[in-house]
Amino acid sequence: MGTLVGHVAPGAGFLLIGLWQLFNHIRLFALRPDSYAAPLWFPARGVRHLELILIIAGTSASILMELVIGPAKHQPFDDDGTIPSDHLHNFEHASVSLALLAFAAVTIHMDRVRAPMRDAVSQLAAAAAFAQELLVFHLHSTDHMGVEGQFHWLLQTVVAVTLATTLLGIPCPRSFVVSLVRSASLVLQGVWLIVMGVMLWTPGLVSKGCFLNHEDGHDVVRCRTDEALHRAKALVNLQFSWYLTGTMVFVVVLYLQVSRLYPEEPQYLPLVKGGPAGGRFSVGDDHEDEDDMEAAKSTYYGQMVSGGTKPMEVER
């Protein structure tokens, strides 16, 4: 990170995964609201682990960009093998990517070996990754007092929501609200990272009274006066408010559209008990003995032969 591409690229990744999760959770709930259970990831046709593979590919590219491609020497260490101050943020960003990569790899492996309690363990692995992301941005080596710091503070609130809903998904796997908020927070994370990259490293979009200054190997937004700094931070807060509202409206519209495209599937209950000769049947658990069941079957099939009753499905 620390550049436009360094924020836009991971932001696009979060946005893509968030939209995929959001669409699939809404679709699954719309089709089966009574039996809904939230998965942590969704298999894709043809390539079952496509979502997780994309996470691994994206995080691997991010690590390479931070530690190999980005540095001028194509390696992040000083001549004596230590980490220089101007590369601390590279290691911080790479650590977040590594945590997400580990989550995806562990989840794929547990799914392939059909490990018991794999869903809960995957949830914990995802929570650990988001906890590390929150910790890194909270203790970021980048200045927290400037405009970039304000962007990071607001990003932390979104990451905290993602972390909280991921943890809540363990005891509440059937809560659609938890899944919806988690997916929406991933979308907002992606949007906000993209906004950060564009607003902080596009000279024409830097707030009035502020400028880009090259420090420690990367550009940083600095303001000439305290008034300009306060104004710039206030504008960041306004942008966050607008994008939060926009995300909420988008989620509601998507929910309505997906619910309309995927109406609830009819659920069928088995006919377990035959009625009298009039052809009426009751639906429910049969706790009577096997003789009664056989008698019910005989009555039912006798009516079928005589044409008195046709097979029927009871729709709920």
Q: Give the pair of three-digit tokens for residue 291.
A: 């003789």
Letter for the amino acid at 297?
K
Reported residue count of the chain is: 316
Band the pLDDT of 278: cuts 50, 70, 90: very low
Asked if residue 91 has pLDDT above 90, the reply is no
Letter for the amino acid at 237?
N
Q: Are 185 and 169 in contact (CB under 8 A)?
A: no
- Average pLDDT of the residues in 113-131: 95
Identify the pLDDT of residue 142. Answer: 65
Band the pLDDT of 303: cuts 50, 70, 90: very low
Identify the pLDDT of residue 5. Answer: 85
Angle at 14 between CA 8 and CA 15, to 5 degrees: 80
User: What pTM does this model have?
Assistant: 0.81
Catalogue the E-assigned strands of 175-288.
210-215, 218-223, 268-269
Identify the pLDDT of residue 305. Answer: 37
- Identify the residue with better confidence: 73 or 19: 19
Sign of the four-CA dihedral 67, 69, 71, 75? positive
H or E element at residue 314:
strand 314-315
Band the pLDDT of 197: cuts 50, 70, 90: very high
What share of residues in the chain are helix, strand, coil (percent, to 5)?
Answer: 65, 5, 30
Identify the pLDDT of residue 70. Answer: 72
Letter for the amino acid at 56?
I
CA distance 292 to 95: 66
Letter for the amino acid at 72?
A
Helix (H, G, I), strand (E, B) or coil at 282: strand
CA distance 122 to 117: 9
Please write the tens of the pLDDT for every residue from 92-114.
Answer: 889 999 999 999 999 999 999 99
CA distance 104 to 22: 18
- Average pLDDT of the residues in 57-70: 90
Backbone angles phi, psi at 313, to 5 degrees: -115, 135
Task: Count CB atoms within 10 A of the CB of residue 117.
Answer: 10
Identify the pLDDT of residue 215. Answer: 79
H or E element at residue 208:
none
- Cα distances (Å, whole numbers) of residue 182 to 17, 77, 167: 11, 37, 10
Percent of the chain scoring above 90 in pLDDT = 64
Identify the pLDDT of residue 279. Answer: 44
